[in-house]
Each structure stands twice: as C-alpha cells, then as structure tokens.
Amino acid sequence: MFEVKKVIGSLLMPLPVTLLLLALCLLFIARINIKSYLAGWLLVVSLWTISTPFFADILITPSEKRLAPFSTSKHQHIDYVVVLGCGVSPAPRLPANLQLSGCALSRLTEGLRLLHAYPHAQLIVSGAGDGKTTSSAMMGKTAIALGIRANKIIQNPRARDTAEEALLLATRLVDSKVALVTSASHMARAQDLFSAQGVDTLAAPVQFYSYGNSPEYRRFIASASVLNAVTTYVHELIGRQWIALRRMIDPQAL
C-alpha cells in the first residue's frame, strides 16, 4: 500500500500529470495529419523518458562514478578551499543563507567541512550575482554566521562564470594546494578551466545524484527534479563542447 501511495503521488506531480494529460489529448486529436500526430506522441514519450530516474541513471551515473568525495585523510595540507558560485536570489528581508540556491548551499557546506579539517587554509567564495547581491557575498555572510572568522574568507564577486573564476583567481592560487568545491556534474569542466590557467586542483565534488539507488517504483515515473538533473548534465556537455570549439579557433582561449 505504501508503494502504491507513492506511485500515485508521484504521478500527480506537475510534470507527469501534464504529460499524461497531453497524451490523453492526443488520443482525441483527429488523425488527419499522421506525421504531426506521431511527432506529438514521440515528443511526449521522449520527454517522459528523459525525466525518469532510469534514463538519468544511464546518462549521469557513469560520470559520477569517476569522482569520489574529498577524503581529508589523503591530504595533509590544503592552502585554499575554493567554493564556486551557484546562484543567488536577492531578498534583503531574508538572511544570507536563505538567499543562496540549494546548489550554492551544498557547495558551501562542503567548503566549511574542509575548512574545519584544514584550519590553516583560507576559504575563497566566488560568483557574481544580481546587482549588489552576489553569490560570493551571500556565501561569505553565511560562512561568518556559521562561525568562520571574516579574515579567513576571500571573496571573488566579479566572476560571472567558471572561466572568469579561474582567470581571476589564478594569480593567487598558482603553486598552492587547492581544494575545488563544485557540483559533481560540473567538476570536469571546472578543473579543466583552472588547469588552463596553470592551477592544479583537488576535486571536492558535491551534489551526487545517485539515481542508481532510486526505489524501483519510481524508476520509470517522470519527475521534474530528474529533468532538472538531466538538463544540468546537458548544460555541462554543451559547455565542454563550447570550450573545445573556442580552443580550436583560438588555442589561447579559456
């Protein structure tokens, strides 16, 4: 009964219920233009498929398996813990931590864990934002609220993307022991961009999706959160191709 309840609840979420209604509407569409009719079904079925944990597991899990959480026992010394930006929603009435995206909070939490493990390291929080409200500022304020001294925090508020983060931080980080904190899906591109600036980094990935462990009753049900994960993966894939294209045109780019 519990699993039945969960299946029904999952099917009533906005994405699956919308796709089911679209499929129902297609049943009543006059099949005058068979090509459009079949294309409509193909799009509905495709969107449903790529939004399932089953598909996300096939797409994302292989790249996640190449990464492991940062092990403090394997590294005796770290100079800098660099936390890359990941979105901010300006709202002056809210404390800093509530203005950060879930992605940013996940990254910052890992950064603070490492900072406690390496008390002599400095924390670098990065990322631009919306006007005067930057991701780096909100992460810095959150870190202070959680007990980190202000003099241990360095902000990098001008970086609008990872390429700029690497470029702006390179001078400080070259020849240092650097733990790079970002999402698992983003790690390969981020390390590539920092390496291009002469900065070697140690991967400290967060936000593992782990869809291989999804309950069986959910594996074939479309989910907006899964679609968001697949979208993020595709975004990274396009980002890597863009970097390759830029470097093909200009070997000194990025």
**What are 113's two structure tokens?**
């864990």
| Tally of residues, the chain | 254
CB 157 within 8 A of CB 151: no
pLDDT of residue 155: 96
SS (H, E, C) the chain: CHHHHHHHHHHCCHHHHHHHHHHHHHHHCCCCCHHHHHHHHHHHHHHHHHCCHHHHHHHHHHHHCCCCCCCHHHCCCCCEEEECCCCECCCCCCCHHHHECHHHHHHHHHHHHHHHHCCCCEEEEECCEECCEEHHHHHHHHHHHCCCCHHHEEEECCCCCHHHHHHHHHHHHCCCCEEEEEEHHHHHHHHHHHHHCCCCEEEEEECCCCHHHCCHHHCCCCCHHHHHHHHHHHHHHHHHHHHHHHHHHCCCCC
CA 226, 229, 230: angle at the middle one, nearest 5? 90
pLDDT of residue 252: 76
Q: What percent of the chain has pLDDT over 70?
A: 94
**Domains in the chain: ranges and CATH:** 2-64+221-249 (no CATH), 72-206 (3.40.50.620)
Per-residue pLDDT of the chain (254 residues; tens, 9 = 90+): 656 656 666 666 778 878 888 877 777 776 667 777 788 888 889 999 999 999 999 999 999 999 999 999 999 999 999 999 998 999 989 999 999 999 999 999 999 999 999 999 999 999 998 778 899 999 999 999 999 999 999 999 999 999 999 999 999 999 999 999 999 999 999 999 999 999 999 999 999 998 988 888 889 999 999 999 999 999 999 999 999 998 889 877 77
Neighbours of 82 (CB within 10 A): 29
